[in-house]
């Protein structure tokens, strides 16, 4: 394959078609656990591009409408290891009634809904990227789309995925606010901590002397904890405090819950232990009772910069004149869960901004570059393996 041919598929990306496709997908209402309409669209669209489809039954674990979608394209050369592209089908909030607005080459909603660029932008780019590959006639290996459900609440669909249905072992996930060219090689471990603090309930006027406020106990415990930025690798937060019955009742119990993220599994565990011990000391001294539950959210990942996935995306970005850079993030993505289940993958930036809000937006440039980079990754993956 000549260098001219290598660039041709990315140039085959039709900007107007991709923009229209994104706006069409963004308008499909599919909040978490309600992704059936998105699945219905893909059931029609993907076979037209040569994909065979398979759904798992992950939805049964969280009362959803539809499972994760695994779509397979044979490609033109079965000697090439398959490459997957993954994203999620859900949005954090509904997009029903979405009215997109394009101003200064940036796509917004009209301010009454989210835009859904997280992550319909990636989904649209994948469809256009594979269409560009097909139209260019470029040889390529098998391609797999791993399209998850219920990602927004905490990577739930990926957690319950039937991984026996997945054929590929390496791939990419465009799902980050960095501009196209961002390459995230390292992601965090994350766990939640739930602390049930018990004191003694009592009425403030009738038997206040028998009361032992769980709120005050918990407050003292929180003041003993190190929270926020623990070090350059670790963050800790308390995000839920829930309890009480009436304003006249000294509260007998309260739930305090938080989350820890760290690039280091050991530091994660040390911080969780610190938070439990800080609360336990105060609870013991106050004559209360503490019950603690640790809930794993996901594991971290750390892809070497000389891994073929890393080298391929840097080369692909260069081929389409996009500046790339290697980085890490304490944000979570399906990348964490897929890596934990034996699917080596990297998170890539696709440039959406102000996600999970009515101010969400994405530049037309980032949308188009996501499609171009998708096509170029498929070609460069082929070239890299043929050169071995």
Going by pLDDT thresholds of 50, 70 and 90, the confidence category of residue 221 is very high
> What is the pTM assigned to this prediction?
0.92
Contacts of 12 (CB under 8 A, 6+ apart): 132, 133, 135, 136, 375
Burial class (CB in 10 A: 0-12, 13-18, 19+), 242: exposed
- Told to judge if 376 belongs to the known catalytic residues of this protein, a careful annotator would answer no
Same fold, 3-187+300-386 and 189-298: no
Q: Tell me: the pLDDT tens digits for 242-267?
A: 999 999 999 999 999 999 999 999 99
| Greatest distance between any 2 Cα atoms in the chain | 88
Write down the catalytic residue from 151, 179, 233, 379.
151
pLDDT at 387 over 90: no
- Told to judge if 90 belongs to the known catalytic residues of this protein, a careful annotator would answer yes
Write down the catalytic residue from 35, 56, 90, 118.
90
Answer with the residue of higher pLDDT: 10 or 234. Answer: 234
In this prediction, residue 4 carries a pLDDT of 41
| Mean pLDDT calculated for residue range 178-194 | 98
Given the candidates 3.40.630.10, 3.40.50.11440, 3.40.50.80, 3.30.300.180, the CATH classification of the domain at 3-187+300-386 is 3.40.630.10
- Of 8-12, 190-194, 249-253, 268-272, the least confident: 8-12
In this prediction, residue 7 carries a pLDDT of 46
β-strands 289-298, 189-198 pairing: antiparallel
Q: Tell me: the pLDDT tens digits for 2-55?
A: 344 444 688 999 999 999 999 999 999 999 999 999 999 999 999 999 999 999
**DSSP SS3 for 83:** strand
| Mean pLDDT calculated for residue range 55-77 | 97
| Mean pLDDT calculated for residue range 273-284 | 98
In this prediction, residue 9 carries a pLDDT of 86
In this prediction, residue 342 carries a pLDDT of 97
Q: Tell me: the pLDDT tens digits for 81-137?
A: 999 999 999 999 999 999 999 999 999 999 999 999 999 999 999 999 999 999 999
Domain boundaries, the chain: 3-187+300-386, 189-298
189-298 fold = Alpha-Beta Plaits (3.30.70)
In this prediction, residue 5 carries a pLDDT of 41
Burial class (CB in 10 A: 0-12, 13-18, 19+), 270: middle
In this prediction, residue 313 carries a pLDDT of 98
Tell me if 100 sits within 8 A of 22, measured CB to CB.
no
In this prediction, residue 6 carries a pLDDT of 41
CA 24 to chain centre: 22
Tell me if 28 sits within 8 A of 91, measured CB to CB.
no
In this prediction, residue 386 carries a pLDDT of 86
């Amino acid at each position: 394959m000549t260098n001219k041919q290598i660039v041709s598929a990315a140039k085959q990306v039709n900007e107007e078609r991709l923009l229209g496709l994104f706006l069409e997908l963004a308008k499909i209402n599919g909040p978490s656990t309600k992704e059936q309409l998105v699945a219905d669209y893909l059931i029609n669209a993907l076979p037209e591009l040569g994909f065979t489809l398979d759904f798992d039954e992950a939805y049964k674990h969280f009362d959803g409408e539809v499972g994760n979608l695994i779509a397979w394209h044979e490609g033109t050369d079965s000697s090439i290891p398959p490459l997957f592209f993954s994203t999620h089908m859900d949005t954090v909030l509904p997009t029903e009634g979405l009215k997109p607005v394009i101003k200064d080459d940036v796509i917004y909603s009209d301010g009454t809904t989210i835009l859904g660029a997280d992550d319909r932008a990636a989904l649209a780019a994948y469809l256009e990227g594979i269409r560009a590959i097909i139209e260019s006639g470029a040889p390529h290996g098998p391609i797999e789309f791993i399209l998850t459900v219920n990602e927004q609440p905490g990577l739930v669909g990926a957690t319950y995925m039937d991984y026996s249905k997945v054929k590929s072992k390496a791939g990419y996930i465009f799902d980050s606010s960095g501009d196209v060219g961002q390459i995230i090689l390292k992601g965090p471990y994350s766990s939640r901590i739930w602390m049930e603090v018990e004191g003694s309930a009592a009425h403030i006027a009738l038997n206040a002397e028998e009361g032992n406020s769980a709120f005050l106990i918990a407050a003292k415990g929180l003041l003993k904890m190190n929270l926020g930025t623990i070090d350059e690798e670790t963050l800790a937060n308390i995000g839920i405090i829930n309890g009480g019955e009436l304003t006249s009742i000294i509260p007998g119990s309260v739930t305090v819950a938080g989350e820890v993220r760290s690039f280091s599994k050991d530091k994660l565990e040390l911080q969780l232990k610190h938070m439990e011990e800080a609360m336990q000391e105060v609870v013991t001294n106050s004559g209360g009772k503490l019950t603690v539950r640790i809930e794993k959210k996901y594991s971290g990942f750390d892809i070497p910069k000389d891994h073929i996935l890393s080298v391929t995306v840097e080369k692909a970005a260069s081929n389409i004149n996009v500046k790339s850079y290697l980085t890490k993030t304490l944000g979570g993505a399906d990348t964490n869960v897929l890596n934990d289940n034996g699917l080596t993958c990297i998170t890539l930036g696709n440039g959406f901004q102000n996600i999970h809000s009515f101010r969400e937006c994405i530049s037309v440039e980032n949308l188009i570059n996501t499609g171009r980079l998708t096509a170029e990754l498929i070609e460069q993956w082929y070239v890299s393996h043929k050169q071995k």
